[in-house]
Amino acid sequence: MNRIVTTSEALSDRERAVAERFAAGMTYREIGEALFIAPSTVRTHLAAIYEKLGVRSKVALAMHINA
């Protein structure tokens, strides 16, 4: 049986924080500064987020986060 996975189930707390900020239009650098992580770590989190949620664009991510 296939089940729809919600954002809160699919993402860790840190991934959710990164996704919400990215969907709000913050840059990698701004997200990194806000969360005290490197921009490269933001990129790593976003790659995992895109994979887990099955999205391919910032717009699709924003729609998923704000749904």
The CATH number that applies at residue 36 is: 1.10.10.10
**pLDDT value for 7:** 66
Q: Is 21 left (phi over 0), alpha (psi -120 to 50) or beta?
A: alpha
Q: Which residues of the chain fall below pLDDT 70?
A: 1-8
Q: Would residue 20 count as lying in a domain?
A: yes
Show the domain range for 60. 7-65
- Number of folded domains that form the chain: 1
Q: State the pTM of this model.
A: 0.85
Q: Is residue 1 part of a domain?
A: no
Whether 27 is covered by a domain: the verdict is yes
In 3D space, the residue among 56, 67, 65 whose CA is nearest the CA of residue 23 turns out to be: 65
